[in-house]
Structure 1
Amino acid sequence: MNAEIMEVLGQAEPYLTAAVSAYGAAVLVRAQDVALDAAVEGTAGVGRRILELVWRRRDGEERAALEAAVQDAAEDPEDSDAVAALRHQVKRALREDAELVRELVALLPEQVGMTVNVSGTRAIGAQHIGIAASGDHTTIHPPQS
């Protein structure tokens, strides 16, 4: 599996689930409801545009599979299996169309922030840190002037 596709999917998933939650199965309806868009434009709006982009690039049978996945996720957005099925449909489209990957990346807001994974006894994770001590019997002395 292409690491770029997995990364893009990871970034897109919150937008997809927000769109399905906000718009329901109507997220794929081509006629846009401008008032509804204005009300849920943020995360859900980005998700709607992602799904529209994917839907436009699929053929009849593939569109039907995407619509079914959207319907299932809309009926129960908390169902991890339904969300996974929707994610799988988007992943299939991305694997088959490198240009679609580029277009989807352009739709995603620039990612800010950082993820730090820390594990182990007394492990410390920080973006900026002054003094950190995690061992037994540690003594920290102030700097000498």
Structure 2
Amino acid sequence: MSAEIVQFVGQASPYLTAALGAYGAGVLARGESAAVDATANVGRRLLQAVWRRRDEQGRAELEASIEDATQETGDEDAIAALRQQIKRALREDPELLHELTGLLPSSDSGVSATASGTRSVAAGGNIGFVITGDIHPPQS
């Protein structure tokens, strides 16, 4: 499997989960809602784009995965099965990856920062000095 597909599905997962939570099993049939946050609307558009590009059997499999994922809220296996359906669609239709990537919001800087743990600091660029702890006086 292409690393590009794996990376895309990883990036798309929060959008897909938000769409299922907001729209439920009807995500493929529903129109965009202003009452739903932007993340869920992106996920809805992703799922609908995959569904449109599938044949009858692929559509039925995608619908079944969506149904399972919405009925089994929080079930990682059900979400993983949905991601597998999307990966299969991307492997079978290489142009679909380009279409779906265009639906994801672009990152302005391309920088990602994650802080984890006590007194952690995450910075998305050069911010100067960062000091953590209790014994350092503030710098002026």
TM-score range relative to shorter protein = 0.7 to 0.9
Residue 12 (structure 2) pairs with residue 44 (structure 1): no
Q: Which runs of 5+ in 2 are unaligned?
A: 116-120, 132-138
TM-aligned CA distance change 1:117 to 1:21, over 3 Å: closer
Structure 1 runs, 4 residues or longer, greater than 2 Å off: 111-118, 124-133
Q: Are the equivalent residues in 2 in contact too, given 1:20–1:77 (CA < 8 A)?
A: no
Give the CA deviation at 1:9.
Answer: 0.8
C-alpha deviation, 1:117, in angstroms: 7.4
Question: What's the counterpart of residue 79 of structure 1?
Answer: 75
CA distance, structure 1, for counterparts of residue 15 and residue 8 of structure 2: 11
Structure of higher CA gyration radius? 1
Higher RCO (C-alpha 8 Å, min separation 6): 1
- Cα distance, 1:22–1:128 mapped onto 2, change above 3 Å: same
Could you say which residue in structure 2 is the equivalent of 1:10? 10
What TM-score do you get using the length of structure 2 for normalisation?
0.78
User: What value does the CA root-mean-square deviation take over the aligned residues?
Assistant: 2.9
How many residue pairs match? The answer is 133
Counterpart residue identity of residue 35, structure 2: A
- The letter for the 2-side match of 1:47 is G
Match of 1:59 among 55, 61, 64: 55
**CA shift at 1:52, angstroms?**
0.4
